[in-house]
Amino acid sequence: MPQAPLALRIVDEDLVSPDSLLANPLNWRTHGAVQTAAVDEVLRRVGWVQRIIVNRRTGLMVDGHLRVRLASENAQPFVPVSYVDLSPDEEALILRVLDPLTGLAGTDRVKLSDLLDTVAVPEGELQNLLDGLRPTNTGLPWTPPGPDGDVPPLDLPPSDARQVQLFFTADSLVDFLSFVERLGDSLGTSTVTDTVLAVMLSEAARND
């Protein structure tokens, strides 16, 4: 049976002063110096390619806090905004899951490596960030694809474990994904599996 059309919660868009936008007190994301410098460089080099999300009912931002802060600090006259119509509970849900759900996406290492080879930027935090995304810098064993394009599996120690299930509450899942994302940023890993594995291998080596 066809599914009913999904609700369209986007109600308007506009160009508004960054100083007029209100930070969401429930925003749990933090932005370190490396990310801030890299985002600032992208904005300066390219400009706006993604809108800030603001909940029309509450007047609070749902996504884009760092970009708005940078725009304000750089005396930008406007930021592009998409207005959505959400209840406070729906707003809290989107705040909780928007970034973690994006972080669950996997990585095609071959395509990522090819894409990074096409990007040329001056030396700086953005270049450091791009360098850290390269599969060879993940901290995990990796070999390039063969002539047929197949990527060899990770050269991991033998294990009887083939699948592990973790059970979370809504709150603990958000905390877990937040911790994994922060660890992934520091380790250069791009998936939950790679990040958890890298931490386990690092701890095992440290305790040997």
Phi, psi of 83 (to 5 degrees): -95, 135
What would the two tokens of residue 99 be?
């970034």
The domain segmentation of the chain, as residue ranges, is 10-103, 109-207
* pTM of the shown model: 0.63
Per-residue pLDDT tens, the chain, 208 aa: give them: 778 999 999 999 999 999 999 999 999 888 888 788 889 989 998 999 999 999 999 999 999 999 999 999 999 999 999 999 999 999 999 998 887 777 666 777 778 778 877 877 776 667 766 766 666 554 444 444 444 544 444 454 544 444 566 666 666 777 787 778 878 777 777 777 778 888 887 777 776 6
- For residue 60, give the DSSP letter: B
Domain at 10-103, CATH class:
alpha beta
